[in-house]
Structure 1
Amino acid sequence: NAVSWPIMFKDNELADAPLIINSIDPCISCMERMVVTDRSTGSGNIVTKSELVERCREKTRRMMGS
């Protein structure tokens, strides 16, 4: 499954990650943190579950126009 991940994440926001991951494997989507790598620089950044949840909420607010 991991081979298809880069294609599935391409052109999506980090806030979309939980839904994409859950569609692949529901158990993996419950992780407490993940490393997000900037392909242009190669640098990695740890994003916690709470940070990711907040990004999801922000995106939902943007989409709902509130």
Structure 2
Amino acid sequence: MNSTQLGLLTGLVLGLAVAFGGFGAFAAVAVLGAIGFLVGRVLDGKLDLSQLSGRDRG
């Protein structure tokens, strides 16, 4: 799945959340989607969080 398809899918899901659940559902879907995106980036090795923990400081 490329970035265009992922963006389209995200937009459709957020649109459905607004249509059927209102702003609260939209906000919840947006926040959970962002968290899922970050977790996916970490698991793929494309986002390094070691700088935030301070463990790599020698």
Please tell me the TM-score bracket, short chain as reference.
0.3 to 0.5
* Larger strand fraction of residues: 1
* Larger helix fraction of residues: 2
The alignment's TM-score, normalised by the length of structure 1, stands at 0.32
Higher normalized contact order (CA 8 Å, seq sep 6+, divided by chain length): 1
The alignment's TM-score, normalised by the length of structure 2, stands at 0.35
